[in-house]
Amino acid sequence: MEYEFLRPGDGQALDENFQPVTVSAWTGTLRSGLRLIATEAVLLEAGMAYLSLGESDLDIWKGKVYLSFRF
């Protein structure tokens, strides 16, 4: 979690209709993932993150899959 002490314009931003709205000073990120070593030569990583915790009407998700073969 992050809290913005000093915010430009006292936290005012424009929405999709260019109307001023006050955004939250609190934001956050929630992450989860796993790492699996299947064999001595194979590594698999997977992860998921929700990046817009504390923001109303905004959903930003991030996912990743990483597969590595040693040769």
Q: Where are the domains of the chain?
A: 2-69
Name the burial class of residue 48, with classes exposed (0-12), middle (13-18) and buried (19+) by CB atoms within 10 angstroms of its CB: middle
pLDDT value, residue 64: 97
Rounded Cα distance, 42 and 36, in Å: 9
Low-confidence ranges of the chain (pLDDT < 50): none
pLDDT value, residue 42: 96
pLDDT value, residue 69: 95
Phi then psi for 27, rounded to 5 degrees? Answer: -140, 165
